[in-house]
Amino acid sequence: MLFPVKANANKKAVVQYASIPLFNDEEIKKIIDKLDDNKWDNSMVYDNKTEEISKHKIRTNKEQPLWPEQGGFPFDIITEEIFKVNSEYWNFDIRYIDFAKDPPLVLKYVLDQEFNWHFDMSGVSSTRKLSFTIQLSDSDDYEGGDLQFGPVIEHQPEIKKKGNITIFPSYVWHRVTPITKGNRYALVGWVHGPTFK
């Protein structure tokens, strides 16, 4: 005969995201200054099963990878905050940012560009546990371009605050709405760990 074992509750596990201040204007300028105007590539969408480039047009923005400086900036600060927030909310088994296979990217959105509904974890990238996005633009510099979480869409002004980091489980559905004016820049990345079981 088998008896079920009652598991410890994690009341915050269902929280969709956490958004908190992280970088000041000077630190954001350091990140922006690392970008090269000649290295923007079209963002791609990959098929979850084949790893081949998909022809879906859900993503129309530009991107370029961002590498850490010699001392680790900005990822020393980012990972410390992510581990702290993860401990408070989800308590996932997370280990590293994979710069070799899944480097963080700065995303650039200009007029009409968007990233429609999607989630960041798939059969191909099943070790992604937490996703993060850092607002590099002042919210007055653009219109549209809202990071939204589904299925119920609520106004989330803290996500648009310059310097805020928004952290969420990689299986959460989200999108960036089309830009209607100006440009939006954001640093995004993923923290990996053992596949969910």
The full DSSP string for 120-175 is S--STTTTEEEEEEEE-S-GGGEEE--EEESSS----GGGGSTTEEEEEETTS-EE
Is residue 95 domain-resident? yes
Tell me what the pLDDT averaged over the chain comes to: 90
pTM for the predicted model, two decimal places: 0.89
| The pLDDT value given to residue 144 | 96
Is residue 89 domain-resident? yes
Task: Give the range of the structural domain holding residue 23, as residue numbers without chain letter.
Answer: 18-192
The string over 100-127, giving b where at least 16 C-beta atoms fall within 10 Å of a residue's C-beta and e elsewhere, is eebebbbbbbeeebbbeeebbbbeebeb
| The pLDDT value given to residue 125 | 65
| The pLDDT value given to residue 157 | 87
Is residue 12 domain-resident? no
- CATH of residue 137's domain is 2.60.120.620
Is residue 13 domain-resident? no
Query: Between 150 and 23, whose confidence is greater?
Result: 23
Residue 153 has pLDDT above 60, yes or no: yes
Residue 5 has pLDDT above 80, yes or no: no
Main-chain phi, psi angles of 159, to 5 degrees:
-65, -30
| The pLDDT value given to residue 121 | 87
Mean pLDDT throughout 24-37?
97
Burial class (CB in 10 A: 0-12, 13-18, 19+), 45: middle
Is residue 4 domain-resident? no
* Number of domains the chain contains: 1
Is residue 66 domain-resident? yes
Is residue 10 domain-resident? no
